[in-house]
Amino acid sequence: MEIEEQAALTSGADFWHTTAVPGVPAIMVSDGPHGVRKQVFGEGHGLLDSEPSTCFPPAVALGSTWDADLARRVGEALAAECLAKDVAVLLGPGINLKRAPLGGRNFEYFSEDPILTGVLATEWVAGLQSRGVGASLKHFAINSQETDRMRVSADVDERTLREMYLRAFQRVVERARPWTVMCSYNRINGVYASQHQWLLTEVLRGEWGYEGVLVSDWGAVVDRVEAVRAGLDLTMPGPDDAGDRALAAAVHDGTLPAPALSTAAGRVEALVRKALAAARPGATFDAAEHHALAREVASRGIVLLRNEGGLLPLAPGEAAIAVLGEPARSPRYQGGGSSLINPTRLDNALDAITALAGAPVHFAPGYDDVDAAVALARAASVAIVFAGTEEETEGSDRTGLELPARHLELIERVAAANPRTVVVLSNGAVVRTAPWDAAVPALVEGWLLGQAGGAALADVLFGVVNPSGRLTETIPQRLEDHPAYLDFPGEQGHVRYGEGVHVGYRGFDARDQDVAYPFGFGLSYTTFAYSGLAVSTVDGALEVRLTVANTGDRDGREVVQVYTSLGASRVRRAARELKAFASVPVAAGAAAEVVLRVELADLAYWDVEVGRWVVEAGEYTIAAGSSSRDLRLSATVAVDGDDERRVLTAESTIAEWFADPRGAAALGEAFAAMAAGGGDTMAQGMADPAMFTLMASMPLARVAAFAGDAFGPDTMAALLKAAN
């Protein structure tokens, strides 16, 4: 292939197509992630100009199911819609961590936890790609805010980056092999993601073995030559004739090695061939079936936060139901921006409630009409208030955690008028629920639920579905409590990831802070009892077994969660970390045996001294329960670990030498010899505990400064030999 053709292949032809060159046709890509936003006209047209497709629940709700099988089924269904629309790659899933509750795209992301995110996204990608449609894992990496997203430098230490922000990417790349990975807009420690050689080439390709196409986020590339040099394959959107020419010129004049360009072009070509081989011209999809799946997922993603006195589910026989708040009639079911789907149909909760109620239903839109709503509430046997955020969108972060004032007023006045008040929330990320939730007996977190969310809400309100959704992010008492509060969204071009590995619940737990609703929390209409925890080591993993019994009188699902901790660790660790989970159906009165696997590799921390993952040896606590703060059973297990002995150097401290058996023996002997030689006060002094404490942090090489000739280069050389 000519250099010019290679260059052309590495940029788009337009907004949604790759460039065709002789022998290599073009393919189409589309957003993503929770539906197929195939644009009818292409560039320059509004977000709404897309072909209708099923608007599945955005990741905020899919994530709240904690159900990997559901994620896979959604992936498969999305693939069917892509094939029917001749879309080769769907631009998702979005797997950035919900670092801060105000993140404008949190609704597109799964969780504040990397394992939960990684497990769900792996299945989503596997489902999609099993049907011959490529995924685009995005946004790589550390793109957890919208403020200044195209320039801001996410300043982060390597351990935090590896353990928190890259961990889910690594998992999905290694296990599901996405056809494409999309780099983010932002800088990472000063370098644009699209030009980040270490991130794109050393880590993603070198360490994780990624062989697919690296595509830019739309408009992320600043310098085509530097991007290709760093390992980027495809710049979107296009056309970018000037960039193509610059690339070809750089190869001709030798500033860019020819293989850098030919490799990138080769990867794009391979993607095109794979996609064309999987294409199914004339394929169709069953919109009704997909709507039913969207409803199932939505009902499973709803989180019941509060249910005092068992107000829910509503039983037949209510005298009259007041439904209050515009979202009951005009649902907020997805967020704004590139993920906006034009749905095939749209359910609303008001109709669905009316259909299930068996009682008169009276509606008032509420917020501008609070008196009328209160009057209806007073006359009804139960009042259901719909409230939530009014806008969440790509491109900007939220400015606060509070519900809009007029929603709060509606909630407060209705709750005062009718003691049987249920609040249903629609929001893409957590809102503050304290202190008003204390005044409402039932609180249903309805997120953004996709096109079938209205019906799903009615299913949960009336007990057609027993809720089993769980929080994938902590609901704080106040924004100020949040671990990211002081360092979000940064200023003057930088955002410091100052809370380090203590993202989300890890930060709240480290400070033992009260929260409104903890990570992993969600109620059911039944109750579950845990028993019989047994943990054993099986090839490369811990096998965690336990029994969950449904002790209530309704069939339900329990989301069993396994958290691990290691008390004595070389590094500062979170008090507990999610490592495994399962959504388990259990019939009323029945019990289920649950077997979960915790990979030993998932116990590892990133060690910056040795530059690799380390599983520390030690007694790990394995706790299982219903939320991060409702752990019912725990056991300890000894893990051998894979930590090699650390080499002692002249820069290792006296304490480090004495912590190592060989080092302690050698240094002890050397000090004893020095002391016996007489006169070396330092060696003599080391026998004194106070003196030892004073000296312990001194690198051995500095001892010479105090001990002089008694501790010369020969002594040091002999010590290093003896210890290592």
Closest contact distance (angstroms) between CB of 128 and ligand BGC is 15
Q: What is the b/e burial string over 88-110, where b = at least 16 CB atoms within 10 angstroms of the residue's CB?
A: bbbbbbbbbbbbbbbbbbbbbbb
Minimal distance, residue 57 CB to ligand BGC, in Å: 18
Determine the Cα–Cα distance for residues 504 and 101; give it in Å rounded to an integer: 9
Longest dimension (CA), the chain: 99
The nearer residue to ligand BGC, 340 or 443, going by C-beta atoms, is: 340
Toward ligand BGC, which CB reaches closer, 138 or 295? 138
Helix, coil or strand: residue 61: helix
CA pair distance 665, 571, nearest whole angstrom: 25
Distance of CA 450 to the CA centre of its chain: 19
To ligand BGC, the closest distance from the beta carbon of 343 in angstroms equals 18
Closest CB to ligand BGC among 47 and 375? 47
Site membership for ligand BGC, residue 138 (CB under 6 A): yes
Cα 463 to Cα 160, 311, 347: the distances in Å are 42, 11, 18
- Least separation in angstroms between CB 589 and ligand BGC: 46
If the CB atoms of residues 30 and 451 are measured against ligand BGC, the closer one turns out to be: 30
List the x/- string, 90-119, binding to ligand BGC by CB under 6 A.
-x----------------------------
Integer distance in angstroms from the first to the last C-alpha of the chain? 55
**Is residue 216 close enough to count as binding ligand BGC by CB under 6 A?**
no
- 143 vs 627, beta carbon nearer ligand BGC: 143
User: What is the C-alpha to C-alpha distance for residues 450 and 334, in angstroms, rounded to an integer?
Assistant: 6
Q: What H or E segment, with its residue span, contains residue 619? A: strand 618-627
Write out the binding residues for ligand BGC, residues 335-394 only, by CB under 6 A. 338
Query: Up-side HSE of residue 76: CA atoms within 13 Å toward CB?
Result: 12
Q: Of 102 and 586, which has the nearer Cβ to ligand BGC?
A: 102
Of 38 and 398, nearer to ligand BGC (C-beta) is 38
Based on CB atoms, which residue is closest to ligand BGC, 337 or 467?
337
Our CB check for ligand BGC shows the closer of 117 and 626 to be 117
Can you tell me which of 208, 218, 613, 692 binds ligand BGC, judged by CB under 6 A? Answer: 218
Token digits for 213?
Answer: 């196409």
Least distance CB 410 / ligand BGC (angstroms) = 34
Q: Give backbone dihedrals phi and psi of 561, rounded to 5 degrees, phi first.
A: -120, 135
Beta carbon of residue 112, minimum distance to ligand BGC (angstroms, whole number)? 19
Residue of 144, 188, 192, 152 lying closest to 168 (CA atoms)? 144
Least distance from C-beta 339 to ligand BGC, angstroms?
7
Q: Cβ(456)–Cβ(295) under 8 Å?
A: yes
Count interface residues toward ligand BGC (CB under 6 A). Answer: 7
User: By the 8 A CB rule, do 88 and 129 touch?
Assistant: no
Q: Does 217 bind ligand BGC (CB under 6 A)?
A: yes
Task: List CB contacts of 192: < 8 A, sequence separation 6 or more.
Answer: 186, 220, 222
Q: Residue with CB nearest ligand BGC?
A: 338
Amino acid making up residue 632: R
CB within 8 A of 24, min separation 6: which ones?
9, 268, 269, 272, 273
Residue 163: which residues within 8 A CB-CB, separation 6 or more? 114, 501, 605, 606
CB of residue 186 to ligand BGC, shortest distance in Å: 11
Q: How far is the CB of 154 from ligand BGC (least distance, A)?
A: 15
- Using the minimum distance from each CB to ligand BGC, give the nearer residue, 81 or 217: 217
DSSP alpha helices (H): ranges in 428-475? 453-461
User: Which candidate in 148, 217, 509, 680 is catalytic?
Assistant: 217
For the CB of residue 96, give the shortest distance to ligand BGC in the complex, in Å. Answer: 10
Report the relative pairing of strands 29-30 and 421-426 from DSSP bridges. unpaired
Distance CA 514, CA 522 (A): 17
| 217 annotated active-site | yes
Q: How far is CA 456 from CA 18, 348, 361, 421, 466, in A?
A: 39, 9, 18, 19, 11
Contact pattern from residue 30 through residue 59 relative to ligand BGC, giving x for each residue in contact according to CB under 6 A and a dash for the rest: -xx---------------------------
> Min. distance of Cβ 10 from ligand BGC in angstroms?
17
For 523-555, list the strands marked E by DSSP: 528-538, 541-550
Closest of 14, 20, 27 to residue 87, by C-alpha: 27
| Closer residue to ligand BGC (CB): 234 or 251 | 234
420 within 8 A of 382, measured Cβ to Cβ: yes
> Residue 366 and residue 548: Cα distance in Å, rounded?
42
Q: How many beta carbons lie within 10 A of that of residue 591, not counting itself?
A: 16
3-state secondary structure 348-385: CHHHHHHHHHCCCEEEECCCCCHHHHHHHHHHCCEEEE
Residue numbers of the site for ligand BGC (CB under 6 A)? 31-32, 91, 138, 217-218, 338
Residues belonging to the active site: 217
